[in-house]
Amino acid sequence: MARGRHPAFVVAAALLGVVLFTYAIRNVGWANVVDGVNRVGWGLVPILALAGLRFVLRAAAWRMCMPPHAQFTLGQAFTAFLSGDAVGNVTPLGLLASEPTKVFLIRHRLATREAASSLAVDFVIYSTSAVTMIVVGVAVLLASDEVRLSLGWREILIGGLVVLVAGVIVAFRVIGGTWKPERGERPPWRARLASLRESVLAFSAGRPARLWRVFFLDLLFQAVAVIEVFLTLQWLLPEPPTIPEAIMFSALDRATIVVFKFIPFRAGIDEVLTGGMAAVLGWSGATGVALAVIKKVRSIAWVGVGLILIAAHPSPAAPESDPPETGRVRPI
């Protein structure tokens, strides 16, 4: 089991979020943010529905990463995924909390090793879709005629893209296996990568079409996120937004989650960065902060649902051993 973060780090992360959130709100004016949220009004209902659809897509993708013999319905996958995501959001532990929670909630239906393997495969494929979204967002920002970026910012963004693509190549190279037996025993982190590689290879062996279907579901997740941002901006802006603008904000959201997952709800970080993006587009900073606050309300609502599901989850005595890892039941 992965170690938790040091308590001092947890407190520092929470305080950082509070300070940044306070700064962002004071900078644009609380009244302006409230006005933006009020303009959305009942529009929060379809926003919540789209967020729920995104969870369904992620749960369906994870379910497809499970072995064919797993007796696991989409509803059960949705419950476990939403609950794990809720735990990861309310604590600074991120994946260190969310993934074990998912394994725990399905421990009576799938062997621990198989559950962990399915999550590893899902993580790799989803991460690929997230990187794709970020790359598309940066490319749209660079190509936009409506955004006047200075030469310095363009160089930073292009450099960031190069670093990101290079990092992905290196990551796949390392995951692909570069450790030679004559070098002795692998370090722990290399051993975990080797386990991840074995999970992905075992999943994709003989089933390449299934891997692509999972990737397609994750891309749909990213597309629904763009639609959610687009609809929210329609209520916030005096003039209709464009799809490229929604893509930019959605890509920023993906990057923020990747980098700042350790801060609960990315408090403060979302507001500062989204407000900055709004300023880059020539909008008021309050529009960006209001967008971030609405996303936070949506996240809190679904986290609440996830925590309720955890509280309502039955806790029968744990089995003496894991469910069998082999067997032929109906395919998923």
**DSSP string covering 84-111, please?**
HHHHHHHSTTTHHHHHHHHHHHTTTTS-
User: If we measure between CA atoms, which residue out of 168, 106, 109, 101 comes closest to residue 134?
Assistant: 168
Residue type, 258: V
- By the 8 A CB rule, do 301 and 48 touch? yes
Mean pLDDT rounded to a whole number for the chain: 79
pTM (2 d.p.): 0.81
Mean pLDDT in each 10-residue stretch from start to end of the chain (332 residues)? Answer: 57 77 82 84 91 95 82 86 85 70 78 79 87 90 77 78 77 59 59 62 66 91 95 90 91 86 79 86 86 90 89 57 46 33
pLDDT tens digits, one per residue of 171-188:
666 555 555 565 556 556
Q: pLDDT exceeding 90 applies to what percent of the chain? A: 18
For residue 332 the two structure tokens come to 């998923």
Contact predicate 33/25, CB 8 Å: yes
Nearest alpha-carbon partner for 199 in 211, 184, 188, 187: 211
**pLDDT digit string (tens) for 229-239?**
999 999 998 88
- Give the Cα separation of 54 and 37 in Å (integer): 22
